[in-house]
Amino acid sequence: MSVAELASARLDWAAAQLADCRLCPRQCRINRAAGERGFCGAGADAACFLHYVHYGEEAELAPSLSVFLTGCNLRCRFCHTAIERRERPAKPLTPELLRSIVQRGLAEGARNVSFHGGEPTVNLPALLRLFAALGGLPPIVWNSNLYCTSEAIEALRGLPAVYLADLKFGNPTCAERIAGAGDYWEVVRSCLRQVAEAEPGKLLVRHLVLPGHLDCCTRPALEWLAAELPAARVSLKTDYLVMPDARGDAQLGRFLTPEEAREAERLAAGLGIPLAAGPDFSSVRDAPPQGREPLEVEVVISPTGAVFLHHPTRDLTSVALAVTQRGKSEP
Ligand code: SF4
């Protein structure tokens, strides 16, 4: 069955969820169709606050058309999109808007359309309606925290080409303190297992190494992945950025040290985890993107000298690549 046919067959389930929302462990049991909002703040329709062709995703995904939706059921203090989600005006994601975003993204060279949040799963009912209405979408990447129910995962089955799922923490205490979800460790491991069993070969798990959390989070997360999901590809992210909500925290308020990054990589290698390749910026196109909305470029230099570019332009990417390549070749 096509994505549109699969989505059409699940519209009754989607309507029932909206009328009495139990999509995730928050179990708000509110009527989103009648305008009520639960913990995630998502309404009956999806709303998009940002979209662009992303060259910084894992090599197997980039360039990827990233579509950012409002609504999230976690409260991670290091969230990259929390500020933009709060401050950027969001537009209702109608079939016409999604079609035009996808056409522009494909014209820019995107290989897939990736739904981000916030959290896309809290918008699943609306996205099922959009998928049913549109058809003919490029491969779908589901960039999710997987903090959801097994019914939600069942409703997703067959739709994404790739589940780009996070495993953020390695124990309940850190999950509660940092993201406000004490049941995270149990829930997300169960959802990861379910995806791995139901959709073999589609799971790419991201783990962002948090400063000061090697032993409590990175080690147990990697050990669990190696033991339970040996076939899943793992993307180990060592580019932690200090976001405003994390300032003042003894650990999250600082950058990762080079030693912490190396230790995380050593841990993964020691466990035999197959790591997914990081971004390949050779896919950045020479021609300027058509009709792309200007984004604020963010350049962050950490105390260790690491430079992070957020929303880089093509020219800035070229300069950064030239500088880093030169740095590698010099003693
Ligand atoms: S998806 Fe949102 S409204 Fe529904 S249960 Fe989860 S947090 Fe509550």
Summarised one tens digit per residue, pLDDT across range 267-325 is 999 999 989 987 766 555 544 444 455 455 666 555 555 555 656 666 666 666 666 55
> In this structure, are 85 and 39 located in the same domain?
yes
Contact of 188 with 174, CB cutoff 8 Å: no
Contacts of 149 (CB under 8 A, 6+ apart): 22, 23, 24, 25
DSSP 72: -
Q: How far is the CA of 136 from the centre of ligand 1 (A)?
A: 29
Q: Which of 73-82, 234-243, 250-259, 292-301 has the lowest mean pLDDT?
A: 292-301
Return the axis-axis angle of helices 124-134 and 95-107, rounded to nearest 10°: 70
Pocket of ligand 1 (CB under 6 A): 21-24, 26-28, 30, 38-40, 42, 73, 122
Q: How far is the CA of 170 from the centre of ligand 1 (A)?
A: 23
- The pLDDT assigned to 298 comes to 61
> In this structure, are 225 and 174 located in the same domain?
yes
> In this structure, are 57 and 154 located in the same domain?
yes
Please give the tally of structural domains in the chain. Answer: 2
**Ligand 1, atom nearest to 21 Cα:** 4
> In this structure, are 219 and 254 located in the same domain?
yes
> In this structure, are 193 and 300 located in the same domain?
no
Range of the domain at 320: 295-331
pTM: 0.87
Q: Which of 27-31, 97-101, 118-122, 291-295 has the lowest mean pLDDT?
A: 291-295
Q: How far is the CA of 42 from the centre of ligand 1 (A)?
A: 8
Q: How far is the CA of 140 from the centre of ligand 1 (A)?
A: 22
Q: Whose CA is nearest to atom 4 of ligand 1?
A: 21
> In this structure, are 68 and 173 located in the same domain?
yes
Task: Tell me the longest C-alpha to C-alpha distance in the chain.
Answer: 64
> In this structure, are 96 and 211 located in the same domain?
yes
Q: Report the CATH number that the domain containing residue 62 is assigned in CATH.
A: 3.20.20.70
244 confidence band (pLDDT: 50, 70, 90):
confident
Summarised one tens digit per residue, pLDDT across range 143-177 is 999 999 999 999 999 999 999 999 999 999 999 99
- The pLDDT assigned to 306 comes to 54
> In this structure, are 250 and 319 located in the same domain?
no
Summarised one tens digit per residue, pLDDT across range 13-44 is 999 999 999 999 999 999 999 999 999 999 99
User: Is the per-residue pLDDT at 327 higher than 70?
Assistant: no
**Ligand 1, atom nearest to 27 Cα:** 5
> In this structure, are 89 and 147 located in the same domain?
yes
